Structure 1
Amino acid sequence: KNDALLAPVEQVRTVINPEKICDLYEVYVPSAAVFRGVDSVDNVDFFGKKKVLIEAVAGSGKSLLMRHLCMKERDREQYIPLFIEFRNLDSKSGLDEAILAHLDELGIEADPEIFAVLMKSNRLVLLLDGFDEIKSSERSRMARELESLARAYPDTTVVVSSRPNSGLGGSVYFHTFPILPLSEETKKEFIIKLTENKQDREMILDVIFCSDILPEVTATPLMLTLFVITFKARQFKPDTVAEFYSLIFPTMLYRHDRMKVGFKRDRESGLSDFIIQKLFETFCFLTQKIDVLRSDRYKLLGVIEEAVKFEGITSVVPESLLSDYLKITGLLVSDGFESYSFSHKSIQEFFSASFVSRLPEDSKKVYYESLIGNDEKFAKWRNTLFFLSTIDQTSYLRFYLLPTKKRLLGLTEGEVADVGYADMVAVIGQDTRVKATEEGEFLGIYWDDRWLLLISLNLVGLLRQILKLF
């Protein structure tokens, strides 16, 4: 047991105060990570399975839960917990190498042979966070490595967290446990944690539960936190989801200023708020395009230069603009020496969507059409598409959703259905497996994660049910 070595796992930054490193349990709400019929999870034995896939949408608190499990296993002293973030893995190295490196950091000298002994001893618990944050081009390889690990060490507990439909859900080895949306009671508990003033607390609760849109919008800890920040700053009740999203950047830009009467933090860039936001949207799109969620200062400054050039804005000093994003908005945070990352992946995805939504129609058409039927691109942009379905609804429907559904149905120019083998593979998935006994008894189907699930869930579900019956 070495508390000092695991201390970084217990230290987190939050959207509400990204400049401060705080203790995990200052912000962790156990009831926020609820699985069907269970109030909270305190150790890996809860799952009753050795290979676990925790699935939830962006901002559901998966990472906090994984850190919590690591701390609980440390305290139990039954296992050696290894907490590894997929986003920190070198894309060129394998999972085994990453685990060996982590063991070395914990002071456990292990070569491949010792590693195999440790894995077979049932003394390790692997907590692998953020499978969806692996570059889309690398996910298939990493999924195969995870399955190889599962086959080689059936008695070792491995817990992976990911967004749904990210490429591991079709595994016959990993059992999926979806996190449920926040309940009304948990939202109240969260707001109490986020709001000291009782009057503000009651007003926020009243606004949320009397709204037609906010109960659904605030179904995750991240979105609930962003709403609390926005409402406390503006005392404004949004009527649409798009209206709420549009307030996030200006609110974060001024959130520190509003805490001190008469104080306005200087903008090092000297740019207007409108231009700062516009460049941030372009910056988000460009970083997402090249699969950069976390990077060094030099690379990010290069992307800012590209964003400035794209927008045709002169007299911008990239270093000053990066400083504004870090010190004022908190949407981009320091993540170590000369290393920076978005405060949350969905921040990058939303502002990428904002960038796309203001493009000319012909450019939007090119963007949307490039994603149709392309699994790898869809994996990268799917959450951005989710935001676009709200803030750019007309173009999203015209250039993406309708053509995608026509493709799914095999509709030709004459509106005649022509479904071929490739169309069926799009529904079934190349990595779908059938589980059966040696005697041929059918036990079930493990469906591959497909991009179509997020576009036409009901239709794909119906087709899969027909195939299953067949």
Structure 2
Amino acid sequence: MEGLLFQQIGAFALPLVTKAVEKFIEPKIKTLSEMTGEKLQIAKHVFVNTFEKTLLYSYKKHSVLNTIVFNNQQKLLKDLYIPLTIKTSSTIEETIDDRCSAYIKRVKKVLITDTAGMGKSTIMKKIFLSTVEMENGIPVMVELRRLGKDKLILDEILEQLNTVKKPTNKALVLELIEKGDFVFLLDGYDEISLRDKAIVTKNIQDFISKANNNCFVIASRPEGALASFGDFLKYTILPLRKEQSYELLRKYNDYGELAERLIAKIKERENDSIDEFLINPLLTSLLYNAFEHKQTIPFKKHIFYRQVFDAFFDTHDISKGDSYVRDKISEIDSDDFHKMLRYMGFYCMKRSRIEFNKDELLNIISEAKTFSAISHVQPNLFLKDLLISVPLFVLDGIYFKWAHRSIQEYFAAQFIYIDAKSQQKEILLKLVQNPAIEKHLNVLDLYYSIDFKSFRKIVVKSLIEEYLFFSSSQYRDNVIADELRTERIHLCFEKEFLIFVTDNAVDHTSVKSGVPSKLRGDKKEFIIRQNVLKGGGIWILYVHHYRHWLMSMLYGKGHPLVLHPYIKKSASPTENEKLMCRSRIRYDMPKDIYFPINDKKEMPFNFPDNFDDTNKLIKLAFYSNEHYRINISEADKILKEIQDEISLEDKTNFLLDGL
């Protein structure tokens, strides 16, 4: 960190940190000392000092932003931060400001999910600072991407506390955690490697269960596996309002003339593509960066990211005058640099990793060099460029990481488009049909922008064909009204449901954990939101199919194939209970067995008298805004257009005629 800035923060923070340790740590150690005797009493001073040093270091670290806009130069968070607002599905809103830790302390378990660049990690930093400043506990930030089968959550916490001279007393740390007053900020659940996700998730759940006198905040992009944390209050981040976006641009320019010119240009040409940038804090900041380099506004997302790359590659060193451009230590041009980064972006996407130690990253650079046939580049010099001349990576302790994951995803999408032509179709379908498709939604979104024609020909065509097959093959033998059959097909096309009927009093946890492994398969955690009868009842569990995530992305792009109907249902538990009481399903279904909801006509949930009630019970199981459906009137038309395009391209002389 820059020495002077770090020192200034330290001078401000030291009294706050000392007060927090005196309030939350020292009394506990004193109590433990009295219980265990003189040996711990002797270690008390050293241990308190360790906690104080660790908390002070962390406070300094989280007080600054290594923002890509300023070539990863450090800026004070308070100078650039625009208060963000988080919101539950039931419209509860909380502003993440200087006092936000009071709310976290009251709620205790908070899950913040949103898409790339919406400010999740910045919010975590703000909660950390507020917790110290408001004396609401001892905050501990855990970067979840660093956890794996060989490094669990407690190992990471102890590593933060260990000093060079002496490791921290593990038993004492566990005692302190058990007594409470910690706020554990678990950032980047979506960045845990897929290989280790099940192990790490179980470890986090066990830790939360055993350390339940503390507060926990998890931040992540949306993932089905987050259903594991069903007792957390789930929030999303509200998009920036226009005035907030403009204020952020002004802050980046220190209220200068460039920001005003950019704002004036935005107002001249208001449209949906620019609005997509302005609602997102990261994209708003990168828009400033791109405009600073080239006084134009890009209207497509991939052009926007390319302009950001060009801005970094051609950046001027302001400290040496506007005419000075940093030489690239690796001595390669912009196109070759871009080519190397495309391979690295794709490699990181496949491995679900954005952070590496030095040796790992040098090996990836060497692979990129070989694949790209750029023989003269030296990996160690290219790495220096990535940190200094074209700062798309940052050094965080002993780790090297992409400045932001969305930058890595842009290069991954470009690799699929430019470098993987022969396997483009297979790669896109593997990403789309992957059980962990949520991890790749931003790559798919960027590819949609880069190569809409191929995306339509491969991904959209596949989705329509799947729907047509599904709708023509399901519930054909059931004697039911067409309207009810169509409704069930729409519901089951994007989600997989289980039904569990019991006369026993059971809770959510036991119902979820009881799902047999043969039904769970490689699916993520099943979700339960069903109101049930006291003393037993009907439970509906569900998991999102990969088609749900794809349809949500297409809907967000305004694609006519997908509709997003709001499902109206009774908010009254009494009405819901009446439905379950009157339904014959409760009596007709075998008890205490999990059944997939499918089209087998012999199943009681498909009996003609039960079919409508089953549809209603299914709709009770998820939030009203969680459902997408295929626009039947558009599907055939879009498929024909795509088939006509393919037919034209397949003509032997399509490209040669006229040459």
TMscore range, shorter length: 0.7 to 0.9
Distance 1:43 1:49 in 2: 11
1:467 aligned partner, one-letter code: I
Change (3 A) 1:117 1:439: farther
1:336 Cα deviation after fit: 2.7
1:327 Cα deviation after fit: 1.4
**Is 2:545 the counterpart of 1:453?**
no
After superposition, the C-alpha distances for 1:365-401 in whole angstroms (9 at most, x for unaligned) are 121122343214x344332112111112122222223
Contact 1:430 1:448 in 2 (8 A): yes
Size of the aligned set, in residue pairs, is: 461
Aligned to 1:43: 100
Question: Of 525, 530, 541, which residue of structure 2 is paired with 1:431?
Answer: 525
SS class of match (1:263): coil
Aligned to 1:57: 115
Aligned to 2:351: 290
After superposition, the C-alpha distances for 1:218-246 in whole angstroms (9 at most, x for unaligned) are 32111111100111211112243333233
**Is 2:156 the counterpart of 1:98?**
yes
Aligned to 2:509: none
Contact 1:126 1:158 in 2 (8 A): yes
Contact 1:147 1:173 in 2 (8 A): no
Change (3 A) 1:101 1:450: farther
1:298 aligned partner, one-letter code: D
After superposition, the C-alpha distances for 1:81-126 in whole angstroms (9 at most, x for unaligned) are 11111123344232243334445569995545x5554444331211
1:282 Cα deviation after fit: 1.7
**Is 2:84 the counterpart of 1:32?**
yes
**Is 2:289 the counterpart of 1:226?**
no
Aligned to 2:67: 14
1:53 Cα deviation after fit: 0.4
RMSD (Å) for aligned C-alpha atoms: 3.3
1:154 Cα deviation after fit: 4.2
Distance 2:314 2:153 in 1: 42
SS class of match (1:137): coil
Change (3 A) 1:70 1:321: same
Q: Which has the higher contact order (CA 8 A, sep 6+)?
A: 1
Change (3 A) 1:151 1:317: closer
Aligned to 1:84: 142
1:316 Cα deviation after fit: 2.2
1:356 Cα deviation after fit: 1.1
Distance 1:62 1:406 in 2: 37
1:67 Cα deviation after fit: 1.4
Aligned to 2:608: none
Contact 2:149 2:199 in 1 (8 A): no
**Is 2:440 the counterpart of 1:381?**
yes
Per mean C-alpha deviation after superposition, the further-off stretch among 323-332 and 143-152 is: 143-152
1:364 Cα deviation after fit: 0.5
Contact 1:84 1:129 in 2 (8 A): yes
2:275 aligned partner, one-letter code: P
SS class of match (1:266): coil
- Aligned pairs for 1:348-387 (under 5 A) are 348-359=408-419, 361-376=421-436, 378-387=437-446
Distance 2:204 2:265 in 1: 44
**Is 2:332 the counterpart of 1:238?**
no
Contact 2:290 2:311 in 1 (8 A): yes
SS class of match (2:469): coil
SS class of match (1:16): helix
Distance 2:431 2:322 in 1: 47
Distance 1:303 1:268 in 2: 18
Distance 1:165 1:450 in 2: 12
2:68 aligned partner, one-letter code: V
SS class of match (1:374): coil
- Aligned pairs for 1:17-416 (under 5 A) are 17-29=70-82, 31-35=83-87, 37-41=93-97, 42-47=99-104, 48-102=106-160, 104=162, 109=168, 111=170, 114=172, 117-165=175-223, 167-169=225-227, 171-196=229-254, 198-209=256-267, 210-212=269-271, 213-257=273-317, 260-337=321-398, 339-359=399-419, 361-376=421-436, 378-407=437-466, 409=467, 411=469, 416=472
SS class of match (2:356): strand
Distance 1:20 1:8 in 2: 13
Contact 2:63 2:129 in 1 (8 A): yes
1:446 Cα deviation after fit: 7.4
Contact 2:342 2:414 in 1 (8 A): yes
Change (3 A) 1:197 1:100: closer
1:18 Cα deviation after fit: 3.6
Contact 1:170 1:449 in 2 (8 A): no
Q: Which structure 1 residue ranges, 5 or more long, are not aligned?
A: none
Contact 2:148 2:196 in 1 (8 A): no
Question: Of 429, 440, 447, which residue of structure 1 is paired with 2:536?
Answer: 440
After superposition, the C-alpha distances for 1:309-329 in whole angstroms (9 at most, x for unaligned) are 212233222222222222122
Distance 2:154 2:322 in 1: 53
Of structures 1 and 2, the larger Rg is shown by 2
SS class of match (1:81): strand
Q: TM-score with structure 1 length normalisation?
A: 0.86
Change (3 A) 1:313 1:256: same
Distance 1:161 1:432 in 2: 20
Per mean C-alpha deviation after superposition, the further-off stretch among 196-205 and 172-181 is: 196-205
Distance 1:343 1:25 in 2: 20
1:4 aligned partner, one-letter code: L
Distance 1:77 1:175 in 2: 23
Change (3 A) 1:277 1:238: same
Distance 2:534 2:154 in 1: 32
Distance 2:395 2:424 in 1: 33
SS class of match (2:183): strand
